[in-house]
């Protein structure tokens, strides 16, 4: 199964990748593919607008770096506000996933009591 990442999930995935360290855009997309075992594919049309919004919101910072060969590229780092946002998004996702799992798993209050 290979699918595009839902637009609403893109910021959380970017923040999760950047929580491990600085990364440029292309590497962020590849890391999302790697961590999801190639289930998710992040297209440039979703990635770069999300990076701009996260940067404008102060959740990440970008810095242009010169390369020994090839064009300069922008590398991003997560900010403290980004870490706080990631923690909130992670908790919200866990709550959502548990609710979906309870519904799809078919467990009822009577079965868990």
pLDDT at 3: 62
Residue 30 Cα to chain centre, angstroms: 12
pLDDT on residue 5: 67
Residues of the chain with pLDDT under 50: 1
Q: How far is CA 88 from CA 14, 43, 44, 81, in A?
A: 14, 25, 25, 11
Question: What is the distance between the alpha carbons of residues 112 and 36, in angstroms, rounded to a whole number?
Answer: 30
Per-residue pLDDT at 2:
53
Q: With H, G, I as helix, E, B as strand and everything else as coil, classify residue 1.
A: coil
Domain coordinates in residue numbering, the chain = 3-108
Give the global pTM. 0.84
CATH top-level class for 3-108? mainly alpha
């Amino acid at each position: 199964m290979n699918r595009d990442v839902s637009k609403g999930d893109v910021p959380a995935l970017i923040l999760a990748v950047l929580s491990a360290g600085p990364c440029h855009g292309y590497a962020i997309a590849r890391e999302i593919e790697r961590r999801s075992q190639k289930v998710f594919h992040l297209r440039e049309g979703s990635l770069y607008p999300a990076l701009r919004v996260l940067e404008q919101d102060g959740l990440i910072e970008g810095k242009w770096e010169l390369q020994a060969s090839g064009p300069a590229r922008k590398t991003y780092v997560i900010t403290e506000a980004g870490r706080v946002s990631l923690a909130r998004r992670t908790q919200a996702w866990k709550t959502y996933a548990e609710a979906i799992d309870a519904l799809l798993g078919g467990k009822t209050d009577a079965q868990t009591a």
